[in-house]
Amino acid sequence: MKTIKGPGIFLAQFIAEEEPFNSIENIGKWAQSLGFKGLQIPTGDPKYFDLQQAAESKTYADEYKGKLQEIGLEITELSTHLQGQLVASHPVYDKMFDAFAPVQYRNNPKARTEWAVQQLKYAAKASQNLGLKAHATFSGSLLWQYFHPWPQRPEGLVDEAFTELARRWTPILNAFDEAGVDVCYEIHPGEDLFDGVTYEMFLEKVNNHPRACLLYDPSHFVLQQLDYIQYIDFYHERIKAFHVKDSEFNPTGKQGTFGGYQSWLNRAGRYRSPGDGQVDFKKIFSKLTQYGYDGWAVMEWECCIKNQIDGATEGSKFIQDHIIRVTDKAFDDFASTGADAAFNREILGL
């Protein structure tokens, strides 16, 4: 067993123009003041992190890492959630997802996809330069709009989509393998990898690629009514990153998992700040510790009720209170009789 590292915080929902969220130094000092020890860093804004420069310049990576170490922080992982989304995107979402890419790639899905793939390859090298072992991202989706089988899906549609998804991701996974970094897919609604079954379908298509790993976020599984504890039993060997995000599911006679097109506030399933929802984090931290997960516990704030400042303040302590310092002795050592081979044979009557 190993002790989970933390607390960390994902910065995507905190970046803003006003202080202290307007630079990596300021936001880092703010996070450290709340007790956070690590930052998961989004890579879409060069003002906070220049992904290409970090990939091409070890000096930049070292200086960036050193700047955070001076504050008392480590980098947990880099994140390319938005870029990963664009590795595979159905045309129905083109207009909405265009905002995820620089202006020059908008209204040009082919160029946008090529840009996204290159971004992921930069992320592999940048992670290597920073000494990181895991990377957080999305898989993208060609199939999500067909998740409900009505009208009936044509025979072979799902297989063809996963074949194409694997074709796009295999060179990226290979780049991460060369860098010695695991790709951690956040299993998430809106992605083709949204539960255990779809993850296994993808794994089969990429020949069980050793770098095709998982970012575990139980909040999405509560909303799907998936057993998020047993999920760890199934996939613990592939879980290399962990988001501490809470959620709740309160079905009524009027709506359930699909949410009735309601706002987050009015959906049966909604995300909450850590400790305010229904996720059993005691079991999760115990299970991950049991299996020897030695990565970071990273708070992700997404709540439709509580503001992000309070969520972060409470979230830091929440994670600290759940991290289990593993024992280096057995609880019944005090009753040990000691043994050697001869003694064992003697008490067995041999």
CATH of the domain at 76: 3.20.20.150
Residue 332 has pLDDT above 70, yes or no: no
Residue 235 has pLDDT above 70, yes or no: yes
Residue 86 has pLDDT above 90, yes or no: yes
CA dihedral 287, 203, 88, 61 (to 10 degrees): 60
Give the angle subtended at the CA of 170 by the CAs of 168 and 175, to the nearest 5°: 115
Closest C-alpha to 97, from 111, 78, 114, 83: 83
Alpha helices in 99-156 (DSSP H): 109-130
pTM: 0.95
CA dihedral 296, 42, 173, 104 (to 10 degrees): 180
**What pLDDT, in 10s, does the model give residues 18-66?**
999 999 999 999 999 999 999 999 999 999 999 999 999 999 999 999 9
**What pLDDT, in 10s, does the model give residues 105-155?**
999 999 999 999 999 999 999 999 999 999 999 999 999 999 999 999 999
Residue 334 has pLDDT above 70, yes or no: no
Query: Are the beta carbons of 185 and 214 closer than 8 angstroms?
Result: yes
Query: Given pLDDT bands bounded at 50, 70 and 90, which one contains residue 214?
Result: very high
Residue 71 has pLDDT above 90, yes or no: yes
Query: Are the beta carbons of 296 and 77 closer than 8 angstroms?
Result: yes
> 224 CB contacts (<8 Å, ≥6 apart)?
189, 194, 195, 257
Between 119 and 346, the higher pLDDT residue: 119
- CA dist 149 and 188 (Å) reads 19
Between 343 and 294, the higher pLDDT residue: 294
**Mean pLDDT, rounded, of the chain:** 96
Closest C-alpha to 134, from 182, 201, 64: 182
Tokens for 278?
Answer: 């229904």
pLDDT at 289: 98
β-sheet bridge partners, residue 136: 79, 184
Least confident stretch, 41-50, 195-204, 330-339 = 330-339
Give me the number of domains the chain comprises.
1
**What pLDDT, in 10s, does the model give residues 315-326?**
999 999 999 999
Taking residues 278-304, what's their average pLDDT? 98
pLDDT at 55: 98
pLDDT at 343: 85
pLDDT at 345: 87
Q: Which domain holds residue 148?
A: 5-347
- CA dist 299 and 148 (Å) reads 31
